[in-house]
Structure 1
């Protein structure tokens, strides 16, 4: 442990010790995704204070704790991962009911988002027990914060977290086709051995912008933005570009300047075709957002019914 972390533990006690830490509570602790310095002072204090630490991988967590100068016996580390989350919850519930304080950490980042933890918290809630979040590092929000996903002249429309795409090619293609209809920002995750397959699948999105963020907070961090149709070629140009875990951000569909053409075509098609078919054709013909046209189609039909 470096001298800087000795100071950090002291600072953690001074900054956080006077706060309230109720008994019988699960403390869901975000941990660094690469850079050990991204731990929060409150997280350090809680990891020192709790009666036990539930974790995705006990060996990984033991190593992380020792990096900060925190020693925990093997009996104080409880394995809770995707394969035993439901069963392990019963033991944690029993401990909390006895008044213990327990922290939960995944291998990296914020638990319960893409990592285990959500089922555990749901089980606690069903038993009237409390889960308290300690916010911190997250690859998802880190990538979003620098991707610049709001097109000029538009307000932020939020984002959709879609996680990992299916591994089978046909299912992956189907998922990408569905994403093409999502006008909002979409966040995906991918492993290095599948990132090229994802890039090829995303090429059907054409000029839609895609931000690739790999090795976030680590030494070889790289964040770059390209048109979807160009991502595969960019990855193929340098073998080092496929190394590391990826966050992939599909930028929102850029809204076309309102010219009235989309609605004009939509009205003509609605007179002859079912709503979904009319919307799809109007979007293909004019380039207008399919979601926007669908909302407008429903409004047009309501107005017609009221007349």
Structure 2
């Protein structure tokens, strides 16, 4: 049943989460909303059309994606202001989470239109729930830059972040991304990769970055499917190893070949004001990672 409100009463914009793989993950409420709205704004109308066909739902579809959202948002808002309910869906998962919809939601709220989330599948949450990494604090950074220099620059900015880091990655870049994590954060940094979540060939790879990189290389399916990349945050001691503009890791690396570790830690402590014991442990970690 389609609902259109009386004149002067705007409709509701529903943000509907759809399956990331397994179609049975669509919630009962999401299915009812898709059946009830007047129109569905979809990232890819062909993809969403197949989902609607599976559900036995026939609705008008509007393409709303990264390249046309600013132009299409006005037309969707007009329908909402005329009293029609609209559902926003992406190709998979929750809209706006590395998917289109920000412009539409922002303008709908500015126009006084009710925006209602219909929660459901989300790849980053699904991955975190099964990763075995700390989830009391996490930082989602979407997709890393496609080029190595940009990717390493972002990883370097996040190297001392204590929260668990979460990224999305495509199959043709996953090997290079894990290699960059090894280079920037160290080969012993724990990571977990979730591949093809909720699908038939769902796979998790976990362990030190170097081991995960080797496992991907050995797996003939290791570069297939979509990935959620999760990286354990830095230890608090490691995160504190930055005093102003002084990069303590670099200081320790320069001093270690010249002095015993205890003297390295004492000198670095005097220069940085950080704990000598903390610096000694970090120097040990750096030396072991080189070996």
Name the counterpart of 1:42: 29
Name the counterpart of 1:177: 156
CA shift, 1:255, in A, is 5.0
Contact 1:269 1:282 in 2 (8 A): no
* Alpha-carbon separation, structure 2, partners of 1:82 and 1:279: 46
* Alpha-carbon separation, structure 2, partners of 1:287 and 1:41: 51
> More helix by proportion, 1 or 2?
1
Indicate how the Cα distance of structure 1 residues 56 and 284 shifts in structure 2: closer, same or farther if over 3 A, else same.
Answer: farther
Indicate how the Cα distance of structure 1 residues 269 and 120 shifts in structure 2: closer, same or farther if over 3 A, else same.
Answer: same
Determine whether 1:286 maps to 2:281: yes
CA offsets per residue over residues 155-192 of structure 1, 9 Å max, x none? x5410001111111111111121221111100011000
CA shift, 1:229, in A, is 2.3
Name the counterpart of 1:81: 65
* Alpha-carbon separation, structure 2, partners of 1:193 and 1:279: 42
User: TM-score, normalised on structure 1?
Assistant: 0.75
* Alpha-carbon separation, structure 2, partners of 1:97 and 1:54: 15
CA shift, 1:231, in A, is 2.3
Determine whether 1:133 maps to 2:123: no
* Alpha-carbon separation, structure 1, partners of 2:275 and 2:269: 11
Determine whether 1:67 maps to 2:54: yes
User: TM-score, normalised on structure 2?
Assistant: 0.79
CA shift, 1:287, in A, is 2.7
Give the gaps of 5 or more residues in structure 2: 4-8, 238-263, 284-291
Contact 1:96 1:102 in 2 (8 A): yes
Task: Say what the alpha-carbon RMSD is for the aligned residues.
Answer: 2.8
Please give the residue correspondences for 1:266-277 in structure 2 after superposition, counting only pairs within 5 Å: 272=271
